[in-house]
Amino acid sequence: MKSVLGIGIIGCGNISATYLELIPMFRNIAVVAVADINTAAAEARGAAFNVPAQSVKALLANEAVDIVLNLTVPAVHFAVTKQALLAGKHVYSEKPLTLSMKDARALQALAARRKRHVAAAPDTFLGGSPQMIRKLVDEGAIGKVASGTAHILSPGMEHWHPNPDFFFKPGGGPILDMGPYYITSLVSLLGPVKRVAALSATPRRQRLISSAPRAGEMLKVTTPTTYHALLQFAQGATITLSASWDVFAHRHQPMELYGTEGAIFVPDPNFFGGDVLLAGKDGEARTVDLWDHPFTAPNWKDQEGNLWPNYRAAGIADMADGILHRRDIRCDISRTAHVVEVMTAIADSSRTGKFVALKSTCKRPKPLLPDDARALLK
């Protein structure tokens, strides 16, 4: 039986470099080929990381590829994942899994028929700090979680992304782009969502790009850029979620959970690490000493030279381990499809002005304990 599964990357944009750099940390996965509809992009990325570049057709026919890593733009996530399943491959997709629940259900059904697995990002909830929070919640450190807040607030992607247009078209916006991190984190901590209500707005129909190489260009905005949502979870908690690319300054925490015995201040779910603060009934928030979890170790230097824990590809490694040992996959499509329904329900509610009851459900993923994480690393 194989002990290492071959990864074939389709989509050689910005994020592919991060995956190519970090996948070698894990013992059970190895990149064997890259592909892109832009042949030059695939060849450049392959040359930079000493990986063969192929056409998409050749990669899907490559017997060394066990899992296709779908890093294409969100608008074609469904089509590429479907194509890979039909070619007999397992698939791990960048977030979001799909842009509609109809497409998510279609992939679930196709994967079941083809006896293949589908999973999707984000995997940041597997980080050392998020898993410490999961431990605190499960142990009842703040009693029963009753409510909370989550905030995804920034000026917008046009200030840093080289090609930000797709963020502001249908299929883009802050909920579908950044929402997966926050909603996946909440589902991991609290379980499935029962119903949602939301409002949305589009304050600006045009935006000025300030990032190279297109600084000075105007782009059209055809999707809402601000959402305010209320999420009711099956376990009873209600969470207020604000997501906006129209905020230049604020003082909100990324996420806070309020329980019957205290509160937890959650670091940004977009990252694997961060400080965790815990308060009891005295109202005093204290920094928690993080446990000895390998995914808390700083290993990634940002543009400012700061070191952060970054274990992107942990989700693929966990998927490979699940395939090899026939166990539940933590980023499995049952959970990522539920997250898609939460996000699309937010959009639906903002259009109709009504609460939207969710039809899907899921189980919380098993915690990734320190020894579980160590077993994935070389």
Domains and CATH numbers, the chain: 5-120 (3.40.50.720), 127-298+333-370 (3.30.360.10)
Predicted confidence at residue 18, as pLDDT, reads 96
Predicted confidence at residue 324, as pLDDT, reads 97
The residues, ordered by sequence, that sit 6+ positions from 271 with a Cβ below 8 Å of its Cβ are 124, 127, 129, 308, 309, 310
Residue appearing with tokens 């979680």: 145
Cα gap 260→231, rounded to integer Å: 19
User: 290, 128 in Cβ contact below 8 A?
Assistant: yes
Predicted confidence at residue 163, as pLDDT, reads 87
Predicted confidence at residue 72, as pLDDT, reads 96
- Which of 222, 220, 67, 227 shows the shortest CA–CA distance to 158? 220
Predicted confidence at residue 215, as pLDDT, reads 93
CB half-sphere exposure, 236, CA atoms < 13 A: 6
- Which of 145, 168, 170 shows the shortest CA–CA distance to 156? 168
Return contacts of 77-84, CB within 8 angstroms, 24+ apart: 78/103, 78/106, 78/107, 80/10, 80/11, 81/107, 81/118, 82/106, 82/107, 82/110, 83/56, 84/10, 84/60
Predicted confidence at residue 301, as pLDDT, reads 87
CB burial class (10 A; 0-12, 13-18, 19+) of residue 324? middle
Residue 74, Cα to own-chain centre: how many angstroms?
Answer: 12
Asked if the peptide bond before residue 203 counts as cis, ω within 30 degrees of 0, the response is no
CB burial class (10 A; 0-12, 13-18, 19+) of residue 56? buried
Which segments of the chain have a pLDDT < 50? none
Pairing verdict, β 5-10 and 67-70: parallel
Length of the chain: 378
Predicted confidence at residue 341, as pLDDT, reads 98
Pairing verdict, β 255-259 and 307-308: unpaired
AA identity, residue 294: P
Cα gap 313→22, rounded to integer Å: 7
Predicted confidence at residue 282, as pLDDT, reads 95
